[in-house]
Structure 1
Amino acid sequence: MVRPKTAENEEDQRRQELVGKQEIPETFPIKEELEEQSVKQEEEQMQVSVSESSAVCMKTEESSQGEDISSETLVHTQTEGDTGHSSGTDNDDDWGDPMSYSVCVQIPPLSPGPSLNQENPGTLQIKEEPEEPSVKQEEEQLQLGKKRSMVWEHFDLTKPNKVRCMLCTQVLSYTNNTSSMLRHLRARHNTDQSQPSTTGPSNSGHYPDMSKKMLDEAIVDMIIKDGQPFSMVEGEGFTNLLKILDPLYKVPCHKTVKTMVEERYQQKKKKAEGELKKASAVSLTADMWTSRNMDAYLGVTCHYLSDNFELSTILLGVQYFPVTHTAAHITEAGSTMMAEWGIADKVCAMVTDGARNIVESVNCLSIQNIHCFAHLLNHVVKKSISQTSELDTMRSKARKIVGHFKSSCTAKKKLAITQSNMGMPQVKLVQEVETRWNSTFAMFQRMYEQREPLGAALASLTSTSNLTSFSAEDYDAINQCLKVLRPFNQATAELCGEARVLGSKVIPITKMLTHAITVECNQMDDGVGAILATHLKNNVKEKMSGLEKVTSLSLATILDPRFKEVAFCSPSNAQAAVERLSRECASLIELRTQGEVQPQPSPAPSDDNNLWALLDSHVVAQQTSRASHSATEEIQRYLKEQHIPRCEDPLKYWESHKIQYPNLWRLAQKYLCIPASSVPCERIFSKAGELVSRRRCRLKPSTVEKLLFLNKNM
């Protein structure tokens, strides 16, 4: 506050001038009463707050009535966060009023109270208060102070009043209670947090039944899918792993796991039985297998079209077969299995590998037997190779060379170095498997590709005096044979590569192989390749020409919208297949008509019943004629439609055309479920070989069957 210059405040003006010139004395003469009063006020304020400043400023001003300067004394104390201003700001310039002044007063030490500064005895040394906690510190204190509710295992505190769900990242308001979080977990995630958490240990000391059940089921799934032994759950490494992941979880013993596998088997079998009841027609594949324990098994797989018209496969069983493998015993086992699954009247065909005992048993069951096309193709090629003597000799020589590089570390390393020096990829040679002809193709192909480094490696090895490399003429002959065999290798790869190959592909593949081998015979000059092509052509004609007359395969080909009649080599066989399809379609229409017409009451027996016999026969004939006409019309409309691309799924076509062709759609369900080979059954045995390993050689046959059933039907 600036005071006007008057005669009444001359002394005040003189003092202000002295302050501006910094000539004011170090101490200001104040009355002892005022000093004692100031000291008392300072002491009282220090007892209230520890953070008072060390300097006490006294400011005097004269009242507006002209009172003496000493008549009113104001004592100001500066504390942290409070400057004494009415504005409440921390700006230091507000104290710089040029018309005001402050005087420092030396206060003697007080006892008890803050200690004096040793360096400057005239000032007080008071401990500063700690700063106010930051937002982050408040959040940490709030995190530490929150209740130990199980919901916090699913929520993260992002702000003092906001939480985020760690399951769906939704942000909720938080008001020091967990009600909203509990409602969110129950509504969105179907989780009841009134029990201990399912994702980790809790403070309650027991484990929730739901979470333990989930972990037990996961262990069963792992054993079934990976083929692990039951004793794995008692292994030290596995138990330590689960103890680290969840200390409260108690791992079940191997007997308990085995019991859970049994329960799972019963559940899956009941579910599979329900699915087969819905199927209108099924086909089977069957084969025999012997384990490393010399235990024989009969495996049977079932194929059908599901409700959404997709080809589905169910393993009916891998039945222990301790008796001799006669046709009578196989027939009995097959009949029992079909009756158990309730499909005895639904089986339209069975695909086998052509073994005599199995074929006889299929005939005894009154089921049409279809020779596995993959086995048939393998037999044709192997027979043709053995009939070509020069190629068979080269095959034996190639087996010895590959066997040497497979068994000798020095030869293997030498071949790798030679390949690297020649700038070629370091690949290994392929050894032939006796039972698979395509492994012979792979062996010759790899040797022809690596002929240069292979010849150099053989020449540099001193331990291969009894092995000689192929000559240039030999490699030319191998190349010719590879060219002849390449279409057969493609067909084999297609049959074995796809998960499920329809039987409708058998006749088209046969036609393409016949065409390819005929072209090679006409174009190839005399040599090993030409001889091999001739043998292949003759064997294909002998073993595969009759496939077009197999009812199931021919009807499946006609019902495949990718092929129809054009897939047949013989037009007469194609026309015969269309006629058979017309007859089956007419029979189906007639059965449906009889089911829709209400049965008429039988006339009373009398002597004149013969009067109506002729009329009744004409009515039946007319119904049959109409059914035949309707079937022919439906088939002709279907055959006139454009073929769908070969890469498209024929089952999807029938799913979208079942209203347009209702009778053919039902026949497609019957014949398009037949597989082209018994490869699905052989894959079961490949898994069985992994299951009955050295670690699990004491498994009971019943346990093997249940594990394989669950592995393939999960």
Structure 2
Amino acid sequence: MSAVWNYFKVCTSDVKFAICNDCKAAVPRGGTKPSSFNTSNLINHLKLNHPEIYAAFVNQSNEKKQQGQAAVAVKKTQLTLKDCTEKKQKYAKDHPRAKAINRKIIECIALDNQPFSIVQDAGFTKLVEFLEPRFTMPNRRYLTDVCLPELYSVVYNHVEKLIVDAVYISFTTDIWSSSVSQVSMLSLTAQWLDKDFALKKAVLHSQECRGSHTAEAIASAFEGMFERWGIPKENVHVVVRDNARNMAKAASEFGVPSLPCMAHTLQLAVNGGALTQRSIADALAVGRRVVGHFKHSPLACSRFEDIQKELNMSVKKLQQDVSTRWNSTYYMMQSLVEQKRALSAYAADYELPTTLTASQWGIMEKMITLLGPFEQLTRDISCAEATAADVIPGVVSLTRLLAKTDESDKGVQTAKHALLEAVSKRFDGVQTEPLYAIATMVDARYKDRYFDPDKKEEARNMLLKVVDEMASVGNGQREDAAGASADDPGQEDQDPPPKKAKGSLQDMYQEILTENDVATQATTGETASQVHAYLGEVTILKTACPFKYWSSTQMRFPALARVARKYLTAPCTSVDSERLFSAVSHVIDEKRNRIHCNNAEMLIFIQKNLPLTDMDKGKN
């Protein structure tokens, strides 16, 4: 029925007329017989005499029309009996939708360190059934035997394409032994610079290392891993490993250059040079007992928190150190000194197994100051973009800082002297090691400014020799020795470096740069001209990125850019392998201590390299 009858009613004395509800006028219905009656006159009456009522009528008509169209659409979309039956049927295993869900389940297991038994957990199965009722949850065997290898193959092929384009690749390696099962694993991670000087990283292996970890066995494992990826030894720039003799010998027997991990070397220097000093070791032993008391007593821990609140201090827990991480000892001392007031208040009301004397508190405070630059350097070299170029400047700045005398050294002079000797001994010869020296020279933050006067000329000659050798091989690239481009970071006006606390490690970096003014030298030869022009320019800021520098400057110094692309691939630590094994420890844990090593390796490979495929999808 038309919405117009909301505003009219049929005349009771003569049905040929309709009475307007508003003005009570009698309006003809358009004929003399009921079959010819219509609403046109009624609508026109509203339009001419009652505009506001007419507008309301139009809105009601439109709403009614839309409701009718929706009803027709619903009727058209009603499924047939056959369609209803098919919609309730479960997907077959080879159905595209089922395969896509299976892949997401494997990604979830790999990325979140979930066990394969998650497909049997009630909560997870209910969630998946709610999201997709037609999906049949696979069993664990199907996931491990079919879905895991399929996803591994996809990610492997993607990484393989990236590796093929790399000219020079550097690697890190390490061996890890599980604490919950009799399993040892050997890692191999890769990093390289692409044509745009973007740093690329990938995990290649975390494979089982059976038997004795001899140099011969490790070298044989290296050979198998490199053959599997089709990486020739000529493309291997360097392998960064720990300081163990078997790893160094394995790299030598395999026939590739290798470097020790700088973080491991710092660990040996600090432990041997300072932490073994009698007075320091005694203070640390007392500190460990104090921390252990709160770690093993929930009651003591809650009392300690109450005292911190009463003193208006931040509620913080004391940190326990680990023998294999010197910086964890540094953080333990820091936490003890920060909570000195709270510990003193606790000891006044409750019993502690032991307490630090005033002398031991003083030793800890001074050791925190003394080891601060070591902790800063360790953090710097452990960042994702740290390279072998950071070793020489870091060591030179650190030794200079240790050689300076200060009033605050009172009580730890012996430890400071021992640290200086240990650092000098452990890093002896780094300035003459070509892998370090050339990397430092082509890093625009350092160049030749951090070499000793008697080593600087030798480093320059090493660089010239390598530039000439690589230029003779790669003359295909365009050479442009014109002036610096507008976006050359080496020529931009640079802000002065931020001010640091007096006597800090950053002060030493800046002090050395200031002392080493550039001297102009006569040159002969095109590549030599590039080298001396590059070295003659000011260094970029310490906080700048050397990769971005070369990305914008490679057309000006093409011969040097090729050297930079090779030597700046080398990391200065094996942190990538250590972080890899931190992930492995979550895969092979107490809940999954019987997982097969091949499955564990595939899970780790997917977890670490799957983001590479996502990044490339974003670019496309």
- Match for 2:173: what amino acid? A
8 A Cα contact 2:119 2:138, kept in partner: yes
Pick the aligned partner of 1:572 from 451, 454, 459: 454
Q: 1:80 to 1:255 in 2, by over 3 A?
A: farther
Matched, 1:488 2:371: no
Q: 1:149 to 1:445 in 2, by over 3 A?
A: farther
Matched, 1:690 2:586: yes
- Match for 2:168: what amino acid? A
Secondary structure at 1:567's aligned position in 2? Answer: coil
CA distance in 1, matches of 2:531, 2:420: 34
Q: 1:525 to 1:287 in 2, by over 3 A?
A: closer
Instruction: Please list the CA deviations of residues 397-427 of structure 1 after superposition, one character each: whole Å capped at 9, or x if unmatched.
Output: 0000110011112211221111111111111
Pick the aligned partner of 2:535 from 625, 633, 639: 639
Match of 2:392 in 1: 507
Pick the aligned partner of 1:146 from 69, 73, 88: 73
8 A Cα contact 1:83 1:90, kept in partner: no
Pick the aligned partner of 1:297 from 185, 196, 201: 185
Secondary structure at 2:459's aligned position in 1? Answer: helix
Pick the aligned partner of 2:140 from 254, 261, 264: 254
Secondary structure at 1:683's aligned position in 2? Answer: helix
Matched, 1:216 2:97: no
Counterparts of residues 273-288 of structure 1 (less than 5 Å): 273-288=160-175
- Match for 1:348: what amino acid? H
Compute the displacement of 1:281 (Å).
0.9
Q: 1:251 to 1:594 in 2, by over 3 A?
A: closer
Compute the displacement of 1:484 (Å).
0.7
The alignment's C-alpha RMSD in Å is: 3.1
Compute the displacement of 1:695 (Å).
1.9
CA distance in 1, matches of 2:243, 2:162: 29
Moved more, 434-443 or 225-234: 225-234
Match of 2:229 in 1: 341
Match of 2:26 in 1: 84
- Match for 1:504: what amino acid? A
Instruction: Please list the CA deviations of residues 434-483 of structure 1 after superposition, one character each: whole Å capped at 9, or x if unmatched.
Output: 11111111111111111111111122114x3xx33223333222211111
Match of 2:495 in 1: none
Secondary structure at 2:384's aligned position in 1? Answer: coil
Match of 2:600 in 1: 704
8 A Cα contact 1:411 1:457, kept in partner: no
Identity over the aligned pairs, expressed in percent? 26
Secondary structure at 1:377's aligned position in 2? Answer: helix
TM-score by length of 1: 0.69
8 A Cα contact 2:119 2:125, kept in partner: yes
CA distance in 2, matches of 1:149, 1:537: 86
8 A Cα contact 1:503 1:674, kept in partner: yes
Pick the aligned partner of 1:655 from 551, 555, 562: 551
- Match for 2:182: what amino acid? M
Match of 2:502 in 1: none
Match of 2:515 in 1: none
Q: Which has the higher contact order (CA 8 A, sep 6+)?
A: 2
- Match for 1:518: what amino acid? A
Match of 1:556 in 2: 439
Compute the displacement of 1:242 (Å).
1.4
Q: 1:76 to 1:664 in 2, by over 3 A?
A: closer
Match of 1:469 in 2: 355
Moved more, 628-637 or 684-693: 628-637
Match of 1:266 in 2: 153
Secondary structure at 2:385's aligned position in 1? Answer: coil
**Count of residue pairs brought into register by the alignment:** 527
CA distance in 2, matches of 1:423, 1:390: 33
Compute the displacement of 1:592 (Å).
4.8
8 A Cα contact 1:387 1:535, kept in partner: no
TM-score by length of 2: 0.79
Compute the displacement of 1:140 (Å).
4.0
Compute the displacement of 1:536 (Å).
0.9
Pick the aligned partner of 2:195 from 303, 307, 332: 307
Q: 1:139 to 1:419 in 2, by over 3 A?
A: same
Counterparts of residues 170-209 of structure 1 (less than 5 Å): 203=87, 209=95
8 A Cα contact 1:502 1:673, kept in partner: yes
- Match for 1:244: what amino acid? F
CA distance in 2, matches of 1:382, 1:590: 46
CA distance in 2, matches of 1:76, 1:682: 95
Match of 1:329 in 2: 217
Compute the displacement of 1:149 (Å).
7.4
Instruction: Please list the CA deviations of residues 272-322 of structure 1 after superposition, one character each: whole Å capped at 9, or x if unmatched.
Output: 222222211111111111122111111111121123321212222112121
Compute the displacement of 1:80 (Å).
6.5
8 A Cα contact 1:582 1:628, kept in partner: no
8 A Cα contact 1:282 1:304, kept in partner: yes
Q: Name which one, 1 or 2, has greater alpha-carbon Rg.
A: 1
Q: 1:203 to 1:320 in 2, by over 3 A?
A: closer
Matched, 1:229 2:156: no
Pick the aligned partner of 1:316 from 177, 199, 204: 204
CA distance in 1, matches of 2:67, 2:324: 71
- Match for 2:385: what amino acid? R
- Match for 1:711: what amino acid? Q
Compute the displacement of 1:206 (Å).
6.6
Instruction: Please list the CA deviations of residues 217-263 of structure 1 after superposition, one character each: whole Å capped at 9, or x if unmatched.
Output: 22221111112122212322111111112222333332332212101
